[in-house]
Amino acid sequence: MNPSLPVRRASSLAANLGLSERVFASSADRAMARAIDDGLERIETGLVDQVRFADPIADVASRYLLEAGGKRVRPMLTLLTAQLGDGVVDDVVSAAMAVEITHLGSLYHDDVMDESERRRGVPSAQTVWGNSVAILTGDLLFARASQLMAGLGERAIRMQADTFERLVLGQLNETVGPDPDEDPIEHYIQVLADKTGSLIAAAAQSGIVFGNADPALEAPIIEFGERIGVAFQLIDDVIDLSPQPEETGKVPGTDLRAGVVTLPLLRLREIAATDAASATLLERISRDVLPADPAAAGDPFDTNTLAARVVPSRATVDALVDELREHEATRATLAEAHRWAREAVAALAPLPEGSVKKALTRFADTIVERSS
């Protein structure tokens, strides 16, 4: 691995999210931007050290997705909120690394669950090494993140445990699906809050707690993180249908191909109840991508009708992806993402006016602009 790569990649992250040039205009703003970039460089270098293992297969597998890239959104959020306190101190850097390593571990598990073939522009870990190695690598990364948090004291351990519990519950509820009498869209949003919102909220909270900021700011920052996390994932639902895989790092319609529930599909179901054209599209998706009877697929534990699937042809799914991308259901998903982002910004009201609040607001804008 090129030793100059982490510094070069990290130093451009704030600029990539539009923070350095589009938000930080005053000298104080620019000084904070430099502090964040310096912190990201420390985190990037530290991550390389933290995911090293003496065992050869563990070492190469755990570094695989780290070296594939990523914008380090969660560490950057930790560094931003830490500016409300002591800034980029050692404990903030350690917490930011722990959150990012937890995120990395979850990606290994998610790709196994979703049968994803690519991640960050490269073949997914289970495609390279198989499901067992991918799952165990994720477990190793969770352990390493826990070690980092343990060094920060009991509060950090509890934060890590609470976040990890929500990550697992979110994955479990996604796998099992909603109860028959449960609103599937409300169920889905709760899954997003647990799987994505909880970790982004933990990243934001970590900057407050380990940066020794005013404890009164912790609750609004957590709410911001939760809501922007849901918005983040809803935008991902839209991006999944993107016709530009070179930008997303995935085959268009990866979730559809894996039979994964997303909000565009749930909204399509809702609209199909009163619209014939939508009902026809839903019928084609159900016929060509999703099995009508999950029990027939041989999984007696699966109550989610979208979990098991018959693999369709590439051309068939490409056509369905195109239609769903242009459908009202996807536009409604985008509108929902913007609503969650607006609510995230509203949660920042108790924060003092200044560079941090301005940057977090821009952070929210950047999240929803990813789909444009």
Q: What is the DSSP letter of 352?
A: P
Query: What's the pTM value of the predicted model, to 2 decimals?
Result: 0.84
Nearest to 66 by CA among 152, 157, 1: 1
Cβ atoms of 237 and 262 closer than 8 Å: yes
Helix (H) or strand (E) holding 118: strand 118-119
In this prediction, residue 1 has a pLDDT band, given cuts at 50, 70 and 90, of very low
Counted residue by residue, the chain has a size of 372
What is the Cα–Cα distance from 252 to 165, expressed in whole angstroms?
A: 31
What does the pLDDT look like over 92-116, one tens digit per residue?
999 999 999 999 999 999 888 877 7
Count of C-beta atoms within a 10 Å radius of residue 216 = 10
Alpha helices, DSSP H, located in the chain = 5-10, 13-16, 19-22, 27-50, 56-68, 73-82, 90-114, 125-129, 131-150, 154-176, 184-192, 198-210, 218-239, 245-248, 254-258, 263-272, 276-288, 314-325, 328-346, 355-369
Amino acid at 65: L
Residue with tokens 């195109």: 322
pLDDT tens, position by position, 33-92 = 888 989 999 999 999 999 999 999 899 999 988 888 788 889 999 999 999 999 999 999
Do 217 and 281 form a contact (C-beta atoms < 8 A)? no
Neighbours of 73 (CB within 10 A): 18
Average pLDDT, the chain: 84
pLDDT at 19: 52
**What is the model's pLDDT at position 214?**
96
pLDDT in tens, 158-203: 999 999 999 999 999 998 999 999 999 999 999 999 999 999 999 9
**DSSP bridge pairs for 118:** 123
Mean pLDDT of the region 317-346: 94
Stretch 289-306: mean pLDDT? 44
On the question of pLDDT at 263 being above 50, the answer is yes
Residue 118 has pLDDT above 60, yes or no: yes
Closest CA to 9 of 64, 66, 92: 66
pLDDT of res. 250: 61
